[in-house]
Amino acid sequence: MRHLNHQLKQLCQNNREGSYGTQVQRERVLTLLADQLHQLGYRHLHSHGLKPKHTEALVKRWLSEEIATGTIKNRMAALRWWARKVNRQNVVARSNDFYGIPDRRFVADTSKARTVTVPELDKVRDQHVRMSLELQQAFGLRREEAIKFIPEYADRGDHIVLKDTWTKGKKARTIPVRTPQQRAILDRARQLAGRGSLIPCTRNYVQQLRIYEGHTLRAGLSKMHGLRHAYAQQRYKELTGWNCPAAGGSATRTLSPEQRHTDHQVRLIISRELGHEREQIVAVYCGG
């Protein structure tokens, strides 16, 4: 392992901030940054030697590769975390505008919704991973929420309750149980997990996350966040009676005053069910 890679790995292990998922993602991004800095010619860099030229070289590469704006901003967040932990925060500009990073679009131009079919699920050999995928699809859960899910705790009959320790931002929330299909999935989850979670007792979350990633990869499944998009779009149609813009429906600006009122109220509901506090974020899932 190269010196910088090792130092950044140690930095992550000594600073356990955020959820397990956030920690894992941060370490992966920092490993990527170390690899790319090596490829850019910075062969003997150490973690305390971060300089403005390193950030500028990375951003120049990302922009030339036409990396998605959201991905670049996530990488910049990890870079700022690194700089802050080694007391070098002043070497990274506070604003992404300084580097010419464009604004992220928060309105979906095209639908990112996806579903997982029964034949696709059958390719997932681990039954706990398969059940997590079913919960993601049925309730619009994030991956971490579906892995940490404890059916005995969550299942309250006509709704489920997500613990704050499972969720992004530590925000507990409830989601309604509306269909026989959802009820059947919860019953099977209870049968599989017993009194525990969808992490087998012989594993911890990080181990199960890696198993999840390995099994979905081998099954040819990717972009599972699209299951949340599908849930949001399905709920929008269910609650309004018409398709959302991302699913081929009319743009919000073309709706009648009554429809715009309904649209606003429904987006608030969907935002809460997805674990967001802002109605505007629903535009990422449903369009605007």
Q: What is the pLDDT of residues 210-263, one digit of tens each?
A: 999 999 999 999 889 999 999 999 999 999 999 999 999 999 899 999 999 999
Is 107 domain-assigned? no
pLDDT value at position 220?
Answer: 93
Phi, psi of 68 (to 5 degrees): -55, 140
Any residues with CB less than 8 A from the CB of 196 and at least 6 apart, and which? Answer: 150
Q: Coil, helix or strand for 140?
A: coil
Rounded to an integer, what is the distance from CA 285 to the centroid of its chain?
13
When the pLDDT of each residue in the chain is averaged and rounded to a whole number, the result is 92
CA distances 12 to 2, 25, 266, 275, Å, are 16, 10, 40, 27
> What is the model's pLDDT at position 177?
97
Token pair of 252 as six digits:
């919000």
**Residue 119 within a domain:** no
Domains identified in the chain, total number = 3
- Whether residue 193 sits in one domain with residue 235: no
What is the distance between the alpha carbons of residues 69 and 37, in angstroms, rounded to a whole number? 20
Longest CA span, the chain: 63
Asked whether residue 109 is assigned to any structural domain, the reply reads no
If asked whether residues 171 and 195 sit together in one domain, one would say yes
pLDDT classification of 168: cutoffs 50, 70, 90: confident
Please, which pLDDT band fits residue 105 given cuts at 50, 70 and 90?
A: low
Range of the domain at 272: 227-286
Whose tokens are 């967040």? That residue is: 77
Kindly state whether residue 118 falls inside one of the protein's structural domains.
no
Domain boundary among 220, 235, 254: 220
The candidate with the shortest Cα–Cα distance to 185, out of 121, 277, 124, is 121
Mean pLDDT across 185-198? 96
In contact, 123 and 161? CB cutoff 8 Å = no
Q: Where does 92-194 show beta strands of DSSP type E?
A: 159-162, 173-176
Q: Report the chain's C-alpha Rg in angstroms.
A: 21
Percentage of the chain modeled with pLDDT above 70: 97
Which of 173, 192, 220 is the last residue before a domain boundary? 220
pLDDT tier, 173 (very low <50, low <70, confident <90, very high otherwise): very high
Pairing state between β 173-176 and 159-162: antiparallel
Q: How many CB atoms lie within 10 A of CB 34?
A: 23
What distance in Å separates the CA atoms of residue 133 and residue 174, rounded to the nearest whole number?
19
Same domain for 130 and 210, yes or no, is yes
Asked, for residue 269, whether it belongs to a domain, the answer is yes
Listed residues 176, 196, 220: the one ending a domain: 220
- 215 and 233 part of one domain: no
Tell me: the pLDDT tens digits for 128-149?
999 999 999 999 999 999 999 9
Q: Are residues 94 and 128 in the same domain?
A: no
Q: Based on the domain organization, do 87 and 22 belong to the same domain?
A: yes
Helices (H) and strands (E) counted in the chain, each on its own, are 13, 2
Domain co-membership, 240 together with 212: no
Q: How far apart (Å, rounded) are the C-alpha atoms in residues 86 and 63? A: 26
Residue 183 has pLDDT above 80, yes or no: yes
Q: How far is CA 180 from CA 146, 155, 252, 277, in A?
A: 19, 14, 31, 28
Determine the pLDDT at residue 4.
93
Residues 28 and 82 reside in one and the same domain: yes
Same domain, yes or no: 11 and 92? yes
Domain co-membership, 182 together with 137: yes
For 23, counting Cβ atoms within 10 Å of its Cβ (0-12 exposed, 13-18 middle, 19+ buried), the class is middle
Are residues 216 and 244 both part of a single domain?
no
116 within a domain of the structure (yes/no): no
Same domain, yes or no, for 84 and 141? no
Q: Is residue 188 one of the residues assigned to a domain?
A: yes
User: Is position 105 within any domain?
Assistant: no
Specify the pLDDT at position 104. 64
Alpha-carbon distance 11 to 50, whole Å? 14
* pLDDT value of residue 106: 59
Q: Name the pTM for this structure.
A: 0.71
Structure tokens at 68: 């998605």
Contacts of 171 (CB under 8 A, 6+ apart): 164, 275, 277
Among 117, 135, 134, 140, which residue's Cα sits nearest to residue 236?
Answer: 140
Q: What is the pLDDT of residues 15-70, one digit of tens each?
A: 988 877 888 899 999 999 999 999 999 988 999 999 999 999 999 999 888 888 88
